[in-house]
Structure 1
Amino acid sequence: MSTLFAFLHHLCAFTLVSAVAIEFMLIKQELTLASARRLQVTDLVLGIAAGALLVVGLLRVFFFEKGADYYLHSHAFHLKLTLFIVIGLLSIIPTMEFLSWRGALKAGQVPVISAQKLKQVTMVIHSELLAIVIILLCAAIMARGGWV
């Protein structure tokens, strides 16, 4: 059972990273009807992957692997979880923007995004990518029993 949950955890993590990478590439391009729709779908996939990753990760902490005591005493785990939550909260900014495009997309129009909002959304996506790198470092430190 532990192997299944490890697999699910990695599947969700790789899906999340892929979705952020796709958003990163799409937001840099000129916004079209197709790219706006792709951003909405990709953001939905990202949200589902993040939610599943959190649930599966917590199940692993409390019911599998090394046990809650091991993880809850790890500074690397605390940083990893904190970054995940902070980035999750920040990701509300692009999600709300992408959701605001529904009316325009239903009407077959390319959504309009202000330069300031585009800069803000891009900054959040860059922050997500940076946080992922730090989270991966924390995961490696945790797996080796370091930074306790």
Structure 2
Amino acid sequence: MTTAAVMAFLHHVAAFTLVGALMAELALFGAALDLRQARRVQRVDAAYGMSAGVLLVAGLLRVLYFEKGASYYFHNAFFLAKAALFLLVALLSLYPTLLFLSWNKQLKAGGLPRLEEAQVRRVRAVMLVELAGVVGIVFCASLMARGSGMIE
């Protein structure tokens, strides 16, 4: 097995894990959280963040050292769009993550986080926009993989 294949494997596993974690967050997060569910949301969000980190590192290594080389990718509009969407999704994910991290003291004391219905709607809306961004990333990746979007 070559290093390039291992990098591709890590990249794909991280991408699938990221999507799964985001879907799990959407399913778990709501106004009526119990202690167990709130902790589960935090753990799933941590998995989401870790998978994003692995995805970024594996992706950068693939661009710089494997596959077609950085020159190819940086001259592809769909790769650039994919990178921009990844950055956007990463920035958007900070809002839910910071909220979930703010629960630490309450959860350690056995208390539940107080969530306003409007806050729940905002966080869920951000997660849905993140999901739309991930769909855009997958679309750009499929176009890029077929050689579309080359900038001369």
TM bucket, shorter chain: over 0.9
TM-score normalised according to structure 1 size: 0.96
Q: 2:119 aligns with which of 111, 117, 124?
A: 117
4+ runs deviating over 6 angstroms: none
For 1:100 and 1:114, locate their aligned partners in 2 and report how far apart those are by CA, in whole Å: 15
Q: Which residue of 2 aligns with 1:34?
A: 36
- Post-superposition CA distance 1:81-133 (Å, at most 9, x none): 10111110111100111011111111112211122221221111101111111
Q: Which residue of 2 aligns with 1:127?
A: 129
For 1:135 and 1:18, locate their aligned partners in 2 and report how far apart those are by CA, in whole Å: 15
For 2:32 and 2:119, locate their aligned partners in 1 and report how far apart those are by CA, in whole Å: 14
For 1:29 and 1:144, locate their aligned partners in 2 and report how far apart those are by CA, in whole Å: 43
- Post-superposition CA distance 1:16-39 (Å, at most 9, x none): 111001001011472111110011
Task: Say whether the 8 Å CA contact 2:78–2:140 is kept in structure 1.
Answer: yes
Other structure's SS at 2:29 match? helix
Tell me if 1:2 matches 2:4: yes
TM-score normalised according to structure 2 size: 0.93
Q: Which residue of 2 aligns with 1:94?
A: 96
Q: Which residue of 1 aligns with 2:71?
A: 69
Counterparts of 1:41-52 in structure 2, within 5 Å, are: 41-52=43-54
Task: Say whether the 8 Å CA contact 2:10–2:58 is kept in structure 1.
Answer: yes
* Number of corresponding residues: 148
Shift of the 28–114 alpha-carbon distance from structure 1 to 2, 3 Å rule, reads closer
Task: Say whether the 8 Å CA contact 2:31–2:117 is kept in structure 1.
Answer: no
User: RMSD of the TM alignment (CA)?
Assistant: 1.1
